[in-house]
Amino acid sequence: MPGTPDAVRVALAFDFGAKRIGLALGDTLTRSAVARGAIAMHAGGPDWVAIRRAIAAHAPDVLVVGTPYNVDGEATAMTVRTREFAAELAAHCALPVEQVDERYSSIEATERLKAQRASGARRRRVRKEDIDSAAAVVILQRWLKGER
């Protein structure tokens, strides 16, 4: 119906990495995202039990996966692994999965966390898990802005 706002969608974002998967949660109403920790990778791949637990806890309508590319936009070996993860995620969870270009998200996340620490807004040191979940926040913010 014209003039009717779209339904609010809750999104859970994933920053897929070789050692951890950062998580962030947000919605299309507030267009904001918050870090939700990180899930450790196992030797055999993602911890699907922990991923399903996070999905059940947050009840998202859509899953967003950050997909890495080289500076020039070319796919890498990690791009392939991330696309495979996104496909498995869709199969495991029966939810729509959207992908967002995640170039420089970890750098942006690190800068944000360091700035928070320098300003006193963040008291504890920045851990790798913090960077992973902050990168998921960056990814989700890009998705909320319509960057696909």
Q: Which two tokens stand for residue 112?
A: 């944000």
Check if CATH label 3.30.420.140 holds for domain 10-144: yes
Q: State yes or no: pLDDT of 2 exceeds 50.
A: no
Nearest to 99 by CA among 84, 119, 110: 84
**Cβ partners under 8 Å of residue 27, min gap 6:** 8, 9, 10, 11
Q: pLDDT band for position 4 (50/70/90)? A: very low
Q: What is the pLDDT of residues 118-139, one digit of tens each?
A: 777 667 776 788 889 999 999 9
Q: pLDDT band for position 3 (50/70/90)? A: very low
Q: Which residues pair with 16 in a beta bridge?
A: 21
